[in-house]
Structure 1
Amino acid sequence: MVRLTRVQQQARTRASVLAAAKDEFTEHGYAAAKVDRIAERADLTRGAVYSNFPSKRALYLAVLIDLVENARGEEPPAEAQSTAGALGVFARAWLERLPLAGDSASGGRLQLRSLDGVLDDGHVLAQVARLEAVLLATALERGGPRQVRLAELVLTLLDGAGHRAETAPGFGDPFDVAHACQHLAGIDLADAWAPPHLPYVAPARTCADAWTAPEGLVDQISGAPVGLTDGLVVVLGARRLGAAEEAVRSATPGEQVAIIVVTGDPEETGRLVRLRVTDFVDCLRKVFKPDPWQHVRLVLDDDALVASAIGLDDPDDETEAAVRTRDGVIVARAHGRGAGHAAGAAQKEAKS
């Protein structure tokens, strides 16, 4: 008889709980699902379920993450040359989540990654959506004018199509939605980046602080390891993700910007952010090569390793801080609203 290690047993138990939970949510939906039934399906105790997942919400989000990660493909980019073509391919990749006509209502919501009735506060979702728009716009701009408003408009249309599919399955044609996304590229939205007004943003403090950057960090966009020896490092709580654009716009050309996401609630808020980021980046990878984001790194720091390394205690969803590193030394620090912009401005002043 093969004796399993504790880690192997925990992994097996977790996999059993996820499989049982997926069946429960598919059959009953989130609201009507019962943890007791999930435990019974997995042939485990209720306590064993809660020892792996602290709440039904955390378990539901874990099921969705597992679904997204298992569905990820290695399709090569479609090499769309124009903005309109790229938006059409992106929209079709996003619309693949729409349920099929024969899917059950509960199963269809799971396929849609529906969060209806799951979350009490939509503020984090709004911030994640702003981050998504920045990532899509970065690929669309290709060194040209700002395209964040266009990205926001496309994501609004796609999100609306998802809600329509949830409330009225089978209504409308997804190909029409993708076609409409292509035509949005022709609208002049007069988009322009308006940086924060510096008098209201505390300036970065220059310093020469030795630090040890955490190892093993992974970029969610490219899947490559992340080094923090040189560049701008911005730590953002889940309710401040929209500030990522300030850092990206403020950095000098070619400088690495590392967006580090933290949260005071890794089990629920952290899983929510991971779900949305993983799902969104999977769509981006089906359209674009990693080149547009070669100077942007996105790290989901569930254990707050980077925050701790730069001296932040107890980071939470409202955290906003930034440091500028050079040759492994922190040379500037900023904290509070506009921190990424302040640190970016400091590095530009230092180079001028």
Structure 2
Amino acid sequence: MVRLTRVQQQERTRAAVLAAAREEFVEQGYALAKIDRIADRAELTRGAVYSNFPSKRALYLAVLVEMVRSAGISGPPESPASLTEALGAFARTWLERLPLADDTASGGRLQLRSLVGVVDEQGRTVLAQLARLEALLLAIGLESCGPDRERSPDGESARRVRLAELVLTMLGGSGLLAELAPGFGDPFDRARACEHLAGLDVADAWAPSYLPHVEPGEPVREELTPPTGLVDQVMGGPVHLGADGLVTVLGAHRLGAAEEAVRSARPGEQVTMVVVTSDPAETGNLVRLRVSDLAGALRRAFGPEAWQRVRLVIDDDAVAASALGLPDIDDDTQAAVRVQGGVITARAHGLGAAYAAATAGTGQRTRSREAKT
């Protein structure tokens, strides 16, 4: 008889709970699902369920994360030749989640990764920030598109965050409609509608009103011992925190500041976004769900070269934040450091932290961003 180690037993218990919970959520939906029934399905005690997941919401989010993870990713796509093709490819991939007309209501909601009736006010606040982060990630892919991409006066690719917001709004609306009226409309029509957005002029520009008032960050010289095992949530590869570039640490209430890091970094430098939360089981998994779900569609619609400079880490245990000298973190954390030669050379905190760290030691107080991407 093979004896399981404690870790193996914990993994087996967790897997059994997730499988039982998925069955319960498919049959009953989130609102009517019961922890006691989930425990019975898994042939475990109620206490065993709660020892792995502190709440029904945390368990539901974990089920969705596991669904997205187990879906897998197909082979890498060819880089889209045009913005129109990229929009179509992304939309078609996203729309694959729509339930069929004969799916049960609760099963269809799970397939849609629906959060209706699941998140509380804290979750709504996080989702608002996540929407901005998702738009940025999609925009980075769109800005990398093919030979027809537009250029701003300084030679950089045109900003496409507002276009990404429109696409995600259209697709999100399709998901909500599918939840309320499954089978209505043609997904291919919606994909073609997203393609037509390529020609829409939304006069996009990045020019935050606070930027002229941000002082350069504090020049420092601090040794950095990068933690191992960090994984990029967008492309899936390892993340080396000691690489030259800009690292921003953002709490779940500050995710919208991710664009500041991307736009402020110096040409060619890596941008690493480290997400920290005060509640890994709920808030952390909410962030992980939305980012990994979006990343699955991004990987199938764009080549990996689109995100060569951008990394995103979910730092559940604050390992990365601590290595960067930020032991005290919460959902409102906003900080940044600049790394050169494995050494932290600048740091900043609060509003404009990424821009402040990027401009530390340059002798310039502000830079005009009106024509930037």
**TM-score (normalizing by structure 2):** 0.91
- Partner residue, 2:258: 244
1:202 Cα deviation from its structure 2 partner: 4.4
What do the CA deviations read for 1:108-140 (whole angstroms, capped 9, x no partner)?
000000000110121111111111111111111
1:216 Cα deviation from its structure 2 partner: 1.5
1:234 Cα deviation from its structure 2 partner: 0.4
What do the CA deviations read for 1:172-191 (whole angstroms, capped 9, x no partner)?
11111111000011110011
- Give the letter for the 1:93 counterpart: T
Distance 2:358 2:330 in 1: 22
- Partner residue, 2:142: 140
- Partner residue, 2:33: 33
Query: Does structure 1 residue 235 correspond to structure 2 residue 249?
Result: yes
Distance 1:299 1:307 in 2: 11
Consecutive aligned runs of 4 or more in structure 1 exceeding 4 Å deviation: 347-350
- Partner residue, 1:112: 112
Residue correspondence of structure 1 range 1-352 to structure 2 within 5 A: 1-121=1-121, 122-142=124-144, 143-229=156-242, 230-346=244-360, 348-349=362-363
Contact 2:318 2:327 (8 Å CA) reproduced: no
1:78 Cα deviation from its structure 2 partner: 4.7
- Give the letter for the 2:104 counterpart: S
1:306 Cα deviation from its structure 2 partner: 1.5
1:102 Cα deviation from its structure 2 partner: 1.4
Distance 1:78 1:105 in 2: 36
SS at structure 1 position matched to 2:275: strand
| Change over 3 Å in CA distance of 1:347–1:158 after alignment to 2 | farther
Unaligned 5+ residue runs, structure 1? none
**TM-score (normalizing by structure 1):** 0.97
Unaligned 5+ residue runs, structure 2? 145-155, 368-373
1:79 Cα deviation from its structure 2 partner: 3.4
Contact 2:265 2:358 (8 Å CA) reproduced: yes
What do the CA deviations read for 1:54-82 (whole angstroms, capped 9, x no partner)?
00000000000111111122233153211
| Change over 3 Å in CA distance of 1:17–1:345 after alignment to 2 | same
The share of aligned pairs that are identical, in percent, is 67
What do the CA deviations read for 1:219-275 (whole angstroms, capped 9, x no partner)?
112222111222111000111111010010011111011000110110100000000
Distance 1:261 1:336 in 2: 15
What do the CA deviations read for 1:8-44 (whole angstroms, capped 9, x no partner)?
1111111110000000000000000000000001010
1:196 Cα deviation from its structure 2 partner: 4.8
RMSD (Å), alpha carbons: 1.5
Aligned length: 351
